[in-house]
Structure 1
Amino acid sequence: MSAAVVESHDDPQAPRQGGLEVWAPSVMPPVSRGPLTDEQTLAAAFRVLAREGFSENMAGHITWQRPGETEMLVNPWGLWWDEVSASDICAVDEDARVVRGRWDVTPAIHIHTELHRARQDARVVVHNHPYHVCVLAALGRLPELVHQTGSMYLDDMVLVEEYGGEIDTPLRAQELAEQIGDAKVAVLASHGVIVTGADPVEATYRAASFERACRLAYDVLITGGTPLELPRSAMIGMKASLLERAAEVYWGGAVRSLLRAEPEVLA
C-alpha cells in the first residue's frame, strides 16, 4: 500500500476518506473507438439499464437536461428500453412539448420536467419499475443497506409512502417533486423508483446498483436473519469512492459490452 492511502485508525468513529481524495487513475480504458454523441450516450443508458432489469417495458423515461439548457433528451412512447437507438431519442422543452424527434412522449414526462425545474443537481432523471425495487415499494419500505455498495445511498433515499395513481399533470408532478426533496433516490410506494444524477454515467450506475441493493435487501430480509451493521464512518468514504471512481468503471464496462453485442444502438 502506498503512503498516499495509509490512514490513521486512532478514532474508529471518524469518517473514512474515499474517492478521488484518496486515489485517482492516471488513465482509463476508452468506452468506444470514438466519442459518443449525447443521443448515443442516452440510448446506451436505456439499453444498459434494460439489461439490468431496470425496465417495465411499457413504462419509464430517462431524461437528460444538459448544463445550461432547458430542453431535455428523452425516450419516446412505444419503444422498449432495450430497443432504443440514438435516432429514436426525442427532445422536449421544459413544459414537456416535443421539439425534436419522430415519436411522441407521454404526459408522465412531467415527473421529469418538474424535478429538473426544482433541482439544479438533477441533470439526469431515471424512472421505471424494476422488479426488486417494486417488491420493497409494495411493502412500503426502503432497502436496508446490507452491502458496501449500498453506501452509495447513505442519507440519499426517501420513501414516498402514499400511492396516488398516475402522475400525468405538472401539478401532480410538482407535488411529487416536493415530497422527494433533495433525495437522489425516491422509492414510490406500490409504484417504482426515481433516481437522479449529475450526468448519465452517475445516474446509470446509481440506478443499476439500486435494483441490486433492493434485491440483496429482500433476499436478506426473507432469511429472517439479522444482517451485520455497516459502520457509518466506513460508509462515508465508500460512498465517495463508488460515486467518484466506480461509476466510470461501471459505465465503461457496461457500454463496451453493449456495443459488442448491440452496435446498432448507435444508429
Structure 2
Amino acid sequence: MSAAEQTAVNVRQQVSAEEWATRVDLAACYRLIAHFGWDDLVFTHISARVPGTHDFLINPYGLMFEEVTASNLVRVDLAGNKTLPSPYEINPAGYTIHSAVHEARDDAGCVLHLHTMEGIAVSAQQRGLLPISQQATFITLSLSYHDYEGLALNPDEKARLQAHLGDTRHMILRNHGLLTVGRTVSDAFLAMYSLQRACEIQIMAQAGGSAELINIPQAVLDTVPEYVRLVTRGAGAGLVWPALLRKMDRLDPGYRE
C-alpha cells in the first residue's frame, strides 16, 4: 500500500461515513474545476460543511487542484482552527470568505469561489452580468454583488459580504471573481458552471464591438424556476453529478484517495 493510500485509510477511519462521502464529492469538484481550466494555481477555494457540524473542509494551501484528494482536505472550525490533524495549512484569505458564508447561511453545504478570466472581466463591468443568454437566465434571479475591498484578510469585511450575499445562490465579487453557494457540492458546482458559462458568453458577445445586444425580457426571466425544475426532472444538480463523477473516475480517479 502506498503512503497516499495509507493516509486515506487513516483519515477514513477517523471520520463518519457522511463526512467521507462529502470529502469524496469535494475532492471531485476540485478535480473538475482543474479539468475545465477554471483553477488559478493554488489561489481559489471550494469548501464543504462537515455534515452535522459547523466545521468545514477546504483545500490544503500550496497544492494544485488536481492534487486535492478526499484525505488531504483540511477540516477547520469557523474560527479557522484545525479540528482534525493535518500537515497542511489553509489560505487565510480563503478562510475569511468561506467562513463568512458558512457562518451566515445554514444552507451553505458548499461554497465555491473562482478567479476565472471571464468571471473577473464581467465583475469589472459596471452593469455586471447581462440577461443576454439562456445560461444567464439561470443566474439573474438569484444574483448578488460585493464590492472589492482588497485582499480578503480583514475580518470586518465578513459582515458586509454576508449582508450583500443575503439568500442568493450566485455572487459576483467586483474586480475579483465569482462565488456560488449550494446545499451540496453538486449544487454549488452546477451553479458555478452556469455562472461561468454565462460570463464566457457575455465576453464573447461583447467582442462583436458595436453590435447591439438583446436582453431577454423580464416576463421570460420570471418563468425560469419552473422550466429549470422541468428540465432537471426535479433532481436539480443531482441529475448531472453522477455522470460527472463517472467522468472523473475515467480521467482522474485519484481524487478518491
- TM-score, normalized by length of structure 1? 0.79
Aligned match of 1:199 in 159, 174, 184? 184
- Residues 185-240 of structure 1 show CA distances to partners (whole Å, capped at 9, x for unaligned) of 11111111111001111111111221111111221233223226251243231233
Aligned to 1:20: none
Aligned to 1:48: 32
Which one has more relative contact order, counting CA pairs under 8 Å at least 6 apart? 1
Please state how far the C-alpha of 1:246 moved relative to its aligned partner.
4.9
Please state how far the C-alpha of 1:176 moved relative to its aligned partner.
1.7
- Residues 103-131 of structure 1 show CA distances to partners (whole Å, capped at 9, x for unaligned) of 10121112111111111122211112012
Alignment partner of 1:85 is 2:69: yes
- Residues 24-83 of structure 1 show CA distances to partners (whole Å, capped at 9, x for unaligned) of xxxxxxxxxxx9722111100111122223321131111111443111011110011122
What aligned pairs does 1:162-241 form with structure 2 within 5 A after superposition? 162-223=147-208, 224-227=211-214, 229-230=216-217, 231-241=220-230
Instruction: Provide the C-alpha distance between the structure 1 equivalents of 2:151 and 2:230, rounded to a whole number of angstroms.
Output: 36
Residue identity matched to 1:45: C
Aligned match of 2:82 in 94, 98, 103? 98
Aligned to 1:110: 96
Contact 1:58 1:80 in 2 (8 A): yes
Secondary structure of the equivalent of 1:54? coil
Aligned to 1:265: 255
Residue identity matched to 1:43: A
Aligned to 1:157: 143
Residue identity matched to 2:173: L
Residues 172 and 146 of structure 1, relative CA distance in 2, 3 Å threshold: same
Residue identity matched to 2:207: I
Residue identity matched to 2:125: L
Aligned match of 1:119 in 96, 99, 105? 105
Cα-Cα RMSD: 2.1
Please state how far the C-alpha of 1:255 moved relative to its aligned partner.
1.6
Secondary structure of the equivalent of 2:178? strand
Contact 2:96 2:158 in 1 (8 A): yes
Contact 2:97 2:152 in 1 (8 A): yes
Aligned to 2:45: 61
Residues 261 and 118 of structure 1, relative CA distance in 2, 3 Å threshold: same
The percent identity for this pair of structures is: 24
In the comparison of the two structures, how many residue pairs are matched? 232
- TM-score, normalized by length of structure 2? 0.82
